[in-house]
Amino acid sequence: MSRRLLIGGAIVAALAGAGLLSLAWTPGRVSGLRIAERLKAPLEAGMLGTDQLGRDVLSLLMAGAANSLGIACAAVATGLLAGAAIGLLAAARGGILDAALMRVMDVVFAVPPILSAMMLAAFLGGGPGTATIAIAVFTVPVFARVARAGAMRVLKRDFVLAARGAGKSSARIAAEHVAPNVAGDLLVQATLQLGLAILTEAGLSFLGLGLAPPAPSWGRMLADSQTFFLQAPWLALAPGFAIALAVLGFNLLGDGLRDRFDPRRSP
């Protein structure tokens, strides 16, 4: 097991653990309002201080991990399922369906992610699903292309041709032979997309298009703390580092996985 895989895995596991823990316990309060306790410096109140409403920043970071990672995972999972289905279908059927599906993917791909996310957020309004869908949408074409390319490669191989000759249905071939062979590519891609998803969630929240308050998210913590920068720099530094750490973890994990599945293409 490579060092990258280990470090990346450890970071992701630690953050996910902190997020899960926050569902049951946090060191301080993440809700409510205590005006007297607002903007306390780190160690003065809690390890990382308090925010503009008197909530504990460390606890908010933990709860934010649950939300930010949750949204990223849900978004990438959605994109993965939809994209893989589209890619496999296109590869298996070929012809007009292939052309049409991939054309639609081109259309989605042609619109810059942040623009499509902004439009989707305006359309869907607030709510926990909005950021998830907005992020999922632009990962779909990525997964569709990876799945299609992988499937095309596999479908030309002898054992698939043999299976087809033996009269197996397309669905069975897809499930038995194609899926296992593209799973590695998809997993690597999914891990890398998770890092991007975290960044996009932060960006959307920064623009006020992310998760609705009071549910804490790293991006919104960053956005909310912007104007307190001089008064309370820890408010902006803490979530920024959390975001960077999470993205780093996923990227290392993705690189490590790529080393394993395809050492030739490792950077």
Partner 1 sequence: MAALVAGRLAGLLLTLFLVSVAVFAAMEMLPGDTASARLGTQATPEALAALRAELGLDRSALQRYLGWIGGVLTGDLGTSFTYGVPVAKLVADRLAVTLPLAGLALVLAVMVALPLGTLAAARADRAPDAAAALFAQGALALPNFWIGLLLILVFATTLHWMPAGGFPGWEAGIGAGLKALVMPAVALALPQAGVLTRVTRSAVLDMVNEDFVRLARAKGLTRRRAILRHALPNALPTILTVLGFQFTFLVAGAVLVENVFNLPGLGSLARQALVQRDVVVIQDVVLIFAALTILVNFIVDLSYLVLDPRLRARR
Partner 2 sequence: MCGAAKSFAAHPARHGAGFRHLDGDTMQNPLTRLARFGRATAAALALLGVGTGATLAEPRSDIVVGMAIEPAGLDPTAAAPVAIGQVVWQNVFEGLTRIDGEGRVQPQLAKSWTISPDGLVYTFDLAENVTFSNGAPFDAGTAKFSLDRMRAADSTNPQKQFLANVVSTEARDPRTLVVTLSKPAANLLFWLAWPASVMVEPGSAATNRTQPVGTGPFKLGEWRQGDRLTLVRNETYWNAADAPKLDGATFRFIADPQAQAAALQSGGVDAFPEFGAPELYAGLETNDRFETVVGVTELKVVAGLNNRIKPLDDPRVRQALMMAIDRASLVEGAYSGYGTPIGSHYTPNDPGFRDLTAVHAYDPDKARALLAQAGYPDGFALSIKTPQMAYATRSAEILQAMLAEIGVTLTIVPTEFPAAWVDQVLTRHDFEMTIVAHAEPLDIAIYGRDNYYFGYDDAEFKAAIAAAETSLDEEKRLEAYGTAQEILARDVPALFLFVMPKLGVWDARIEGLWHDEPIPANDLTSVSWRE
Binding site for partner 1 (CB under 8 A): 103-104, 106-107, 109-115, 118-119, 122-123, 125, 195, 199, 202-203, 206-207, 222, 226, 229-230, 233, 236, 240, 243-245, 247-248, 251-252, 265-267
CB 239 within 8 Å of CB 61: yes
CB of 29 to partner 1, least distance (A): 26
CB of 38 to partner 2, least distance (A): 7
Q: How many CB atoms lie within 10 A of CB 227?
A: 12
Give the residue with the Cβ less far from partner 2, 226 or 266: 226
CB of 116 to partner 2, least distance (A): 16
93-129 residues labelled b (16+ CB within 10 A) or e (exposed): eeeeebeebbeebeebbeeebeebbbebbeeeeeeee
As a whole number of angstroms, the distance between CA 161 and CA 163 comes to 5
By a kind-dependent CB cut-off of 5 to 8 A, residue 35 interacts, out of partner 2, partner 1, none, with partner 2
Give the residue with the Cβ less far from partner 1, 16 or 104: 104
How far CA 80 is from CA of 149, 165, 180, in Å, comes to 15, 30, 15
CB of 186 to partner 1, least distance (A): 21
Give the residue with the Cβ less far from partner 2, 9 or 128: 128
- Residue ranges in 118-147 that form contacts with partner 2 under rule CB under 8 A: 122, 125-127
Question: Exactly one of 52, 116, 170, 181 binds partner 2 (CB under 8 A); which one?
Answer: 52
As a whole number of angstroms, the distance between CA 113 and CA 124 comes to 16
- Residue ranges in 84-103 that form contacts with partner 2 under rule CB under 8 A: none
By a kind-dependent CB cut-off of 5 to 8 A, residue 68 interacts, out of partner 1, partner 2, none, with none
What single-letter DSSP state applies at residue 210? Answer: S
Give the residue with the Cβ less far from partner 2, 48 or 151: 48
By a kind-dependent CB cut-off of 5 to 8 A, residue 33 interacts, out of partner 2, partner 1, none, with partner 2
CB of 127 to partner 2, least distance (A): 7
- The DSSP-derived string for 219-267 is HHHHHHHGGGTTT-THHHHHHHHHHHHHHHHHHHHHHHHHHHH-GGG--
How far CA 249 is from CA of 41, 195, 267, in Å, comes to 28, 8, 17
Place of tokens 């950021």: 131
Q: How many CB atoms lie within 10 A of CB 25?
A: 8
Residues that bind partner 2 (CB under 8 A): 31-33, 35, 38, 52-53, 122, 125-127, 208-209, 212-214, 226-231
